[in-house]
């Protein structure tokens, strides 16, 4: 291909790529994918390996957003191979970062952190501040998922400082959102809401629809925690509309789950179960193990509230089997505490069905077989509560 034609094709590819990126940010993934595939064809035609690697990366993000993690990972590995082949350190760091997010979404935190540390080392080595900020943010989310909020906040504040320093508005919006979640987890709702409103303003300003949906969802959880269910539901419905509009399956699943929890809190178990089962289907479809574990646990609580202990325990056992719920704010401990209450009630009224189900669950929780473990655990909880009352 002569130089002039090659130059013209490169210029065309750059324009198409910019347009596709803008479309992606607005959440029209199907149209963005079409644009990126056009760019890829041009990059391959002119032999532009740098551009080809970048486009593989962009395409992967569309499949990731749609919950197709296997296809996303396949494109990312193609991208990484090219980056390593041509010595593109910045691109290699970015791709390692993106690979980590696939493993994070699947609940494999150890593998995710391995990729993130490789990415961070490269960004710091070459002075890529934007890449460093993104990676610090993503590392924080691993520690948050594991309940280490102090370490997570340390990484987030480093990331926020970099985003503000270099004028990265998208990164700033993401980091403000993530900082809010630390304060939420610690029960500081006022501070959490302050960060969320800053994040929402930025995301709406730059047209980041996926980010806007996430932040609306998170704002709803503040109002939910304060029992303002009407306001929470209003924010959740806005978030759900955005998730469905742009094809953000992970966001849609999370929002459906949260809507289900609102109806549970209001005692509308039938509606709650409808939303939770939709959320569960999405989590299973996209391979979101942490979300699946959390939703199974929440469904179990619906059946427990209705007195159907056998079905409730079936869902709880599935949740515990997944194992990832442990990382989501220690909900296993909360679930076990709820089942201690169930044991005490079942014992008091001699409800054989519930007692049999609890006996079968005991070994999965590391308790002695039969009901002896539940009796010991119930006594331990009782002693702990009595001790706390003395301290108060």
pLDDT in tens, 86-96: 999 999 999 99
What pLDDT score was predicted for residue 335? 62
**Choice between 100 and 361, residue whose per-residue pLDDT is larger:** 100
Alpha-carbon gap, residue 223 to 244, rounded angstroms: 22
Weakest mean pLDDT among 196-200, 262-266, 338-342? 338-342
pLDDT in tens, 229-281: 999 999 999 999 999 999 889 899 999 999 999 999 999 999 999 999 999 99
Q: Mean pLDDT over all residues of the chain? A: 87
Alpha-carbon gap, residue 19 to 283, rounded angstroms: 31
Mean pLDDT of 38-44: 91
At 5, the pLDDT band (50, 70, 90 cuts) reads low
Q: How many CB atoms lie within 10 A of CB 35?
A: 21
What pLDDT score was predicted for residue 287? 79
Alpha-carbon gap, residue 27 to 315, rounded angstroms: 34
Q: Are 52 and 40 in contact (CB under 8 A)?
A: yes
At 384, the pLDDT band (50, 70, 90 cuts) reads low
At 2, the pLDDT band (50, 70, 90 cuts) reads low
What pLDDT score was predicted for residue 325? 41
What pLDDT score was predicted for residue 29? 85
Q: How many CB atoms lie within 10 A of CB 387?
A: 10
What pLDDT score was predicted for residue 309? 82
pLDDT higher than 70, residue 329: no
At 323, the pLDDT band (50, 70, 90 cuts) reads low
What is the pTM assigned to this prediction?
0.67
Mean pLDDT of 299-324: 81
Instruction: Return the exposure string of 318-341: e unless at least 16 CB atoms fall within 10 Å of the residue's CB, then b.
Output: bbbebebbbbbbebbeebbebbbe
pLDDT in tens, 140-183: 999 998 889 999 999 999 999 999 999 999 999 999 999 999 99
Q: Are 67 and 287 in contact (CB under 8 A)?
A: yes
Alpha-carbon gap, residue 1 to 10, rounded angstroms: 12
Mean pLDDT of 76-105: 93
Q: Are 77 and 111 in contact (CB under 8 A)?
A: no
Mean pLDDT of 60-73: 90
What pLDDT score was predicted for residue 27? 75
At 291, the pLDDT band (50, 70, 90 cuts) reads confident
Alpha-carbon gap, residue 178 to 236, rounded angstroms: 18
At 324, the pLDDT band (50, 70, 90 cuts) reads very low
């Amino acid at each position: 291909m002569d130089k002039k034609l090659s130059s013209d094709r490169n210029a065309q590819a750059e324009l198409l790529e910019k347009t596709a990126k803008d479309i992606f940010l607005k959440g029209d993934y199907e149209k963005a994918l079409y644009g990126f595939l056009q760019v890829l064809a041009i990059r391959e035609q002119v032999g532009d390996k740098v551009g080809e690697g970048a486009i593989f990366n962009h395409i992967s993000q569309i499949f990731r957003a749609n919950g197709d993690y296997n296809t996303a990972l396949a494109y990312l590995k193609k991208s990484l191979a090219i980056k390593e082949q041509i010595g593109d350190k910045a691109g290699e760091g970015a791709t390692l970062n993106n690979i980590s997010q696939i493993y994070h979404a699947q609940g494999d935190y150890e593998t995710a952190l391995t990729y993130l540390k490789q990415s961070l080392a490269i960004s710091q080595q070459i002075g890529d501040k934007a890449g460093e900020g993104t990676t610090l943010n993503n590392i924080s989310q691993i520690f948050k998922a594991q309940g280490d909020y102090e370490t997570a906040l340390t990484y987030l504040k480093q990331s926020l400082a970099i985003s503000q320093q270099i004028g990265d508005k998208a990164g700033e919006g993401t980091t403000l959102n993530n900082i809010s979640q630390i304060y939420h987890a610690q029960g500081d709702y006022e501070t959490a809401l302050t960060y969320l409103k800053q994040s929402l303003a930025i995301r709406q300003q730059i047209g980041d629809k996926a980010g806007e949906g996430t932040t609306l969802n998170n704002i709803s959880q503040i109002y939910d925690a304060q029992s303002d269910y009407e306001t929470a539901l209003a924010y959740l419905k806005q978030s759900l509309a955005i998730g469905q509009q742009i094809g953000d399956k992970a966001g849609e699943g999370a929002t459906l789950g949260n809507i289900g929890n609102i109806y549970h809190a209001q005692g509308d178990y039938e509606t709650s179960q409808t939303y939770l089962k939709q959320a569960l289907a999405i989590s299973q479809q996209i391979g979101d193990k942490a979300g699946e574990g959390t939703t199974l646990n929440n469904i179990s609580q619906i059946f427990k509230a209705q007195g159907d202990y056998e079905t409730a325990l079936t869902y709880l056992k599935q949740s515990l089997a997944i194992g990832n719920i442990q990382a989501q704010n220690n909900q296993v401990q909360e679930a076990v505490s709820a089942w201690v209450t169930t044991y005490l009630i079942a014992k008091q009224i001699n409800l054989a069905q519930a007692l049999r189900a609890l006996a079968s669950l005991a070994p999965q929780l590391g308790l002695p077989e039969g009901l002896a473990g539940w009796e010991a655990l119930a006594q331990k909880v009782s002693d702990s509560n009595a001790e706390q009352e003395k301290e108060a």
